[in-house]
Homo-oligomer: A and B are copies of this chain.
Amino acid sequence: MKYGRELLKGNTDHLLLSLIGQEPIYGYQLIKEIGKRSGGYFQFKEGTLYTALHRLEREGLIEGKWERLSNGQERRYYYLTKTGRRVLDEKRDEWRGFSAAVNLVTERANTG
């Protein structure tokens, strides 16, 4: 099922912070992981992902560290900062309140 691109706005940060909060993870892996967990629903585009990641780092919510693999390759792993953890909790509450409110307005339409 397809969703309008505007729907994602305001939720990107929430999704990214959620996963990074679980364990350090790198950009490309985030795309795969979000796709997998959502049953293929979300397919983040790189233009979306890296822009968001850089913004979150600039805001101090995550911290990226280059790490070298045994084969010499480098990846940028992201870690959730203390501020990031707090913002994640806020985003979670925000999402719960928001989705509840949407349901209130749109479902009342059926029950009277």
Main secondary structure of the interface of A (DSSP, over half): helix
Interface size on A, residues (CB 8 A): 37
Q: Verify if A58 is at the interface (C-beta below 8 Å from B).
A: no
A109-B11 contact in complex given A1-B97, A37-B104, A97-B1, C-beta closer than 8 Å? no
Contacts of A4 in B (CB 8 A): 10, 94
- Contact (Cβ within 8 A) B94 A18: no
Contacts of A101 in B (CB 8 A): 38-39, 41-42
Contacts of A39 in B (CB 8 A): 101, 104
CB 8 Å contact bits of A34-61 with B (1 = contact, 0 = none): 1001110110000000000000000000
The distance in angstroms between the C-alpha atoms of A9 and B22, with both chains bound, is 27
Q: A54-112: which residues lie under 8 A (CB-CB) from chain B? A: 92-95, 97-99, 101-102, 104-106, 108-109
